[in-house]
Amino acid sequence: MIGHTGAPGWLWPLGGRGRRYRLLLGLLGVLHVSTLFAGFLAPADPATQNRDLPFAPPTRLHFVDPSGRLHLRPFVYGLARPSGDLEGYTEDRNRIYPVRFFVRGAPYRIAGLVDSDRHLFGTDGGTHLFLLGSDAYGRDQLSRFLYGAQISLFAGILGAGLSLGTGMLLGGVAGYYGAWVDETIMRVAELFLALPWMYLLFAVRMALPLRIEPAQAFLLVLAVIGLIGWARPARLIRGVVLSAKQQDYVVAARGLGASDTHLLRRHVLPQVLGIALTQAALLAPQYILAEVTLSFFGLGVGEPVPSWGNMLASLQRYDVLSSYWWMFVPGVALIPVFLLYYALADALHQRSAAFSR
Amino acid sequence: MPYLCWRLGHGLLVLIGVSALSFLLAGAAPGSFVDELKLDPRISPTTISALRDRYGLDQSLPEKYFHWLQSIARGELGFSVAYNSPVGPLLWPRARNTLLLAVPATALAWLIAVPVGTWTASRRGGWADRIAAGATTALLGVPDLLLGLGLLLLAVRTGSFPTGGMVSLGYAELGPSERIKDVISHFLLPVTALTLVTLPVLVRHVRASLLDVLHAPFIQAARAIGISERRLLFRHALRAAANPLISLLGLSVAGLLSASLVVETIMSWPGLGLLLLEAVVARDLHLVVGAVMCSTVLLIAGNLLADGLLYLADPRIRPEQA
């Protein structure tokens, strides 16, 4: 778990007090929504292999051609491999390929609805634009990274939503009805909390088939993640519900004959939401990491579907680890995403703390 | 002492619960170890059914659980089909190896976190505080997986650290002092990774709990009396701030074990985490349950240790809990 000290303003100096969470929510929202447009943003198809071009280094954008003329539009050279040299790639300076916006390329589908073959940028063909290099099969690392973000980032919020939903339901029921219901649910929660969560993650993963199709794998990983995480939010929510239940105005409303559902919806839920949101902001990065870890170890989303985890898996080979820095990109990208989430949790925490004062 | 006995009993109950839970989860797993063998045409169906019978794969879940409980009484903790041996003897050396990483990493992290946290708390808002805040925030954002890979890259590039495993190839021929040197050179990297993973949370907590105390009137009074700043911080404030930190020691065991699983696997350190991963891939039910149980035992032991320390450190806890 991430330690939450609640020390004011110590994570993120941006934005005014109290408003900061909106800025962060917006940033994260843009990040997540833009992954949905991976097909448009990515210059290539993530599964197309170029077996003759493994681990090609990132293609460099040029502005000045060999004759010294300045181009306003950036261009790239073709890739050349001197025969006999397996490692070295050079640029073929005989021809230039201008990089254009809105070029036609590999067909894709956005969010399962819109078909298109326009890409944000690319060349007119004839060469490969590997802005982040290529992987072992010569697939474009940038395109795979963008598509992989769909899986990895959404595993975070969907997983957090799933375990928060379960946690809120069970915690709410436990806190509201009390007695043996509370006792049972909390004892089971204790068991889930008694396990180190990585061990729990793997144990739950054991309960599901080992080899699965990539399409199902994502749902499966989500299910695993959601299952392991319900206990902590459930405990928190239970506490809030317990204290909310005893507040005078809630007792009064009950005395006036308000129904259980009315009490829960109008009086208890609003108090719970702030805490639930803070929890979500803390859970999401943990779950992103859970997907990445599972896929890294070959227990999550498998090839050919890219996820940040299975992209990192090639680093298990020492030669890849030491030679091709661009294979680290999905891992390094986790850092800003995590920091954004932590900053959001921090801001939300301060906000709800300010409210309760 | 009744307090500790009560805690111990509670831990035992949790263990029984966890075993039942993990059996339930793992028992729901489709496929078993022998399914892989079925694909091999050289193994006859009679052999398969004999194996199924021998490992009790066709028993119902309660039956399996009951037999497993019996084998605990024999100290075996079930039977690993992948290793063809009782689980118990497989677990102990692995748990020892995990502890070999976890204990020094915890000690190191606390040794760094307490002075740094105290110091930055006393200079709140100063440049040292800002630098430390930036560093812990940056470290917090680096996932254990990436940290492990990064350190491994360092090892591969510099060549001054071994890149994996626990011992070198010629370990058996080495003398005792060389053996220790060999193991230490292998364990430097994973311990560094684990320390860095736990450090930021600890520093932040130490700082926060010290800040809470530093505003207390008794600190003002002590300062007015003229007690030196260092003595004030480390003798008076730190002692008063100790309670939440001791609880944190117990809580941090869980995170440490989780991070250890990842680090062990990346650096192929033969610990509990690596064993669990192998067992999950091999569909080795009893080994999975055993490894999970073992991690729970370590976690509960960590919590008990923290409870014990808290009991010793703070007399106020005794009457209300006993």
What is the tens place of the pLDDT at every residue in B16-38? 888 888 777 766 666 666 676 67
Least confident residue range of A305-309, A334-338, B160-164, B302-306: B160-164
Predicted TM-score (pTM) of the model is 0.84
* Complex confidence, ipTM: 0.83
CB A175 within 8 A of CB A245: yes
CB contact under 8 A, B145 and A289: yes
Extended beta strands in chain B, E state: 79-80, 85-86
* B201 in contact with chain A, both atoms CB, cutoff 8 A: yes
Answer yes or no: are the C-beta atoms of A295 and A288 closer than 8 Å.
no
User: Which helix (H) or strand (E) is B148 found in, with range?
Assistant: helix B144-158
| pLDDT, tens digit (0-9, with 9 covering 90-100), for A186-214 | 888 888 887 888 888 888 877 777 677 77
- Between the alpha carbon of residue B203 and those of residues B117, B136, B187, B250, the distances in Å are 5, 7, 23, 16
Q: Cβ(B31)–Cβ(B283) under 8 Å?
A: yes
pLDDT given for residue A83 in this prediction: 65
At residue A216, does pLDDT exceed 80? no
Q: By the CB < 8 Å criterion, does A206 face chain B?
A: yes
A207–chain B nearest CA distance, Å: 4
What is d(CA B127, CA B131) in angstroms, rounded to the nearest whole number?
6
Task: Give residue A10's pLDDT.
Answer: 43
**Interchain contact, B288 vs A202, CB within 8 Å:** yes
Top pLDDT among B108 and A44 is at B108
Going by C-alpha positions, the residue among A125, A121, A113 that lies closest to residue A146 is A121
B231 and B154 Cβ atoms separated by less than 8 Å = no
Amino acid at A120: L
Nearest chain A residue to B144 by CA: give it.
Answer: A289
Q: Give the helix/strand (H/E) hosting B250.
A: helix B242-266
Strand order through the sheet with A70-80: A62-64, A70-80, A90-98
Instruction: Residue A310: list chain B partners with CB under 8 A.
Output: none
A27-41: buried (b, 16+ CB within 10 Å) or exposed (e) per residue?
ebeeebeebebbbbb
Gap between the Cα atoms of B294 and B95, Å rounded: 7
The answer to whether the beta carbons of residues B79 and B89 sit under 8 Å apart is no
- Residue A62's φ and ψ, nearest 5 degrees, are -120, 155
Query: Among all residues of chain B, which has the CA nearest to that of A321?
Result: B153
DSSP-derived 3-state class of residue A21: helix
Per-range mean pLDDT, top range of B20-29, B142-151, B309-318: B142-151
- pLDDT of B318 > 70? The answer is no
**Which residues, including other chains, have CB under 8 Å from residue A229's CB and lie 6 or more apart?**
A159, A160, A162, A163, A167, A197, A283, A286, A287
Interface test with B, best of A152, A190, A199 (most B CBs within 10 A): A199
What's chain A's average pLDDT? 80
Q: Tell me how many degrees the CA angle A317-A322-A324 measures, rounded to the nearest 5.
A: 90
Q: What is the pLDDT of residue B111?
A: 92
Q: Which pLDDT band holds residue A1 (cuts at 50, 70, 90)?
A: very low
What are the phi and psi torsion angles at B80 (to 5°)? -85, 120
pLDDT by residue (tens digit) across B171-180?
667 777 777 7
- Nearest residue, CB atoms, B295 vs list A195, A334, A339: A195
